Amino acid sequence: MSRVILVRHAQSEANQQAMSLGRLDSPLTDFGMRQAAAVGEALRNETIARVVTSPLSRAADTAAAIAGQHGLVAVADERLIELDVGLLDGIPFKQVQEEYADFLREWTTTEADALPMPGGESILDVAERSWPALAELLQTEDEPGDEAGTTVLVSHNFVIKVLVCLAIEIDLRFWRRFEVDLASRSTLARRRGQVALYALNDISHLRDGLRP
């Protein structure tokens, strides 16, 4: 499979409540369910061969909205789970700012790719475990007009940022230089011996007030 559409999950309850979120299994809000349906509808006419997803419900439910348009069942892959934010998981951003001020200062003023979350993972840790999941899907060349090998991969903010950097050979130090919004689509394909980025953070399908 050579063409991969990376989809960030739709809005979860923790996103809505401005909480720090990693492995906490926060479900989609009603707004998030409408976002997920919009992604599924946008991909309805694509030739999708496979949908893979993080096992967390906010990603799995987004993936189900896409897979259902194609008579598929999304397959969970543990390697696509979000960054383990350790002690910060599930607490409000305001509390993080108050209780982890020293960590946040280092996190926001350095490249931070090797800095682990308190009791959790680093960006480099995410890269090590998640990249093989994408690399397996980008092994063959994509031919113009041939979408028979398209896979939809549904995951999370940090994971998708890492995968985009690695796929197009951008140093992980620069993971902050682009955004990946909730329910966005980014497209990669291998062609002429290398992986190209065809779309990044596409939210054109989020209309009627569904944008982040």
Q: Is 9 assigned a catalytic role?
A: yes
Q: What SS3 state is found at 24?
A: coil
Asked if 185 and 205 touch (Cβ cutoff 8 Å), the reply is yes
Q: Examine the residue annotation and report whether 147 is marked as an active-site residue of this protein.
A: no
Burial 47-72 (b: 16+ CB within 10 A, else e): ebbbbbbbebbbbbbbbbbbbebbeb
CB atoms within 10 A of CB 173: 14
Of 9, 13, 169, 205, the active-site residue reads: 9
Catalytic: which of 82, 121, 179, 205? 82
The one-letter code for the residue type at 106 is: E
Can you count the helices (H) and strands (E) in the chain? 7, 6
Active site residues per annotation:
9, 82
